[in-house]
Amino acid sequence: MKKESVISTVFLLIVLAVAIIMGLTVISDAFEKLYESELSPVLFTLIVLILGFVFNVIWMEVAHVVGAKVGKCKVVAVNCYYLGFKKSKDGWKFGVDDFDGLTGETKIIKTEKSKLNAYVWMPIVFYAAELAGCIVLYSMGQSAPKDSALKWLAIAGLLWIILSSILFVYDFIPFKLDTFNDGYRLSLLTKPENAKALLDYMNYQGRLSYEGKAVDLEFNEKISDFAVESNLIVVEQALLKGDYKSASEMLQKIKSSEVKIDPFLTKRVVTQEMFIALMNNPLEEVKKYYDEQVGDADRKYISNETSVEALRTYALIAGLIDDSQFEVQYAISKKEKALKKVPSVYLQEEKKLFEEVVKKIQKKHPDWKK
């Protein structure tokens, strides 16, 4: 399991524990003291939490949109939990789409004056405004007459504070989680080289959405821990064009950097290096490199990871080095699921590259069933 997945899982367990404790203590006590309606406390709580969740999903992306505008960025897509608007050259369209975020995603295209500071900080401002509103609701409910229906405002305000605070804390954890959260973005903005790489990365994602066609991403010569993330996209683009030489040179620049790189990204670098070597170099030379230079952690990553880049390499290792027909078929069986994560504009090229992998294996094992 990736470090990001572990952190996400641990945090969600903590959130669940906090929610249960709050439900059994604070909320339960508040219901007893303040709420005397015939409406079921459970039903009331569910209604408030559902409304609160929907509001916070939308509120978060409104904050990102406002922040993007303040930061001189062009907004091209706003997604609130799979539903949203996407801009193209034909105008705005409503639809269903995937997103990379906690509850949604706002995609941008950079301009000459673009900065991401406001994009990242604006949700904090919006959360503070929401918190202030919830406190007002709670105060209104507390001060209402004993038998007044307004007492429900205190409960609603309290529930809303807990929900919005949980979502806010999750969004601003300063680590990379399974989702691209604002806390991770904020940590990247503390280093100029990472800030530039992040803006380039988000601009690339925004242009993919807006233009609906392949988009070139510039290789960051000044390597930083996050620049590796975007640079690996450039490496993949080179591979899709069949430019193994450029891809190999870029990987060497990443490896030779003195910057400490996230272990997960280092494994991706090794994976791509192995792929290039297996596709181009003499097999005996690659076997020697694999035996002497590729450690157990890297091998485990290649065999367990479900991305297209890892499956390609895994299939080649299984077919050319290990001579295992079963493992090759296993890798191929996972291909379609992995391709679903590939941007549609690169899908055909990725399929062709995987077909080249299969042909390479069949050349050594012509008797194997395709």
Write the DSSP string, 113-179: T--SHHHHHHHHHHHHHHHHHHHHHHHHHHHS-TT-TTHHHHHHHHHHHHHHHHHHHHHT-SS--SS
Mean pLDDT for the stretch of residues 81-93: 88
Q: Long-range CB contacts (< 8 A, 24+ apart) of 53-61? A: 53/163, 53/167, 56/103, 56/130, 56/163, 56/164, 56/167, 57/81, 57/103, 57/104, 59/126, 59/130, 60/102, 60/103, 60/104, 60/123, 60/126, 60/167, 60/171, 61/104, 61/105, 61/106
Statement: residue 129 has pLDDT above 80:
yes
Structure confidence at residue 1 as a pLDDT band (50, 70, 90)? very low
Low-confidence winner among 124-133, 173-182, 272-281, 337-346 (lowest mean pLDDT): 173-182
Structure tokens at 222: 């000044």
Low-confidence winner among 109-113, 130-134, 149-153 (lowest mean pLDDT): 149-153
Q: d(Cα 195, Cα 92) in Å, to the nearest integer?
A: 29
Structure confidence at residue 6 as a pLDDT band (50, 70, 90)? low
Question: Residues 232-244, buried b or exposed e (16+ Cβ, 10 A)?
Answer: bbbbbbbbbeeeb
Q: d(Cα 117, Cα 124) in Å, to the nearest integer?
A: 12
Q: d(Cα 215, Cα 205) in Å, to the nearest integer?
A: 9
Q: Which amino acid is at 120?
A: V
Averaged confidence pLDDT in the chain: 85
Mind listing the pLDDT tens digit for each residue in 297-336?
A: 999 999 998 899 999 999 999 999 999 999 999 999 999 9
The alpha carbon dihedral of 355, 361, 365, 370 has a sign of negative
Name which residue leads in pLDDT, 365 or 166: 365
Q: d(Cα 72, Cα 67) in Å, to the nearest integer?
A: 9
Q: d(Cα 92, Cα 119) in Å, to the nearest integer?
A: 21
| H-run or E-run covering 83 | strand 83-88
Residue 205 exposed, middle or buried by CB count within 10 Å (0-12, 13-18, 19+)? buried
Which pLDDT does position 2 carry in this prediction? 47
Which pLDDT does position 226 carry in this prediction? 86
Mind listing the pLDDT tens digit for each residue in 223-273?
A: 888 889 889 999 999 999 999 999 999 999 998 888 888 888 899 999 999
Percent of the chain with pLDDT over 90: 49
Nearest to 141 by CA among 128, 157, 125: 157
Nearest to 64 by CA among 132, 128, 116, 131: 116
Q: Which amino acid is at 1?
A: M
Percent of the chain with pLDDT over 70: 86
Residues composing the chain: 370
Which pLDDT does position 81 carry in this prediction? 83
Q: d(Cα 279, Cα 363) in Å, to the nearest integer?
A: 12
Nearest to 274 by CA among 253, 245, 308, 298: 298
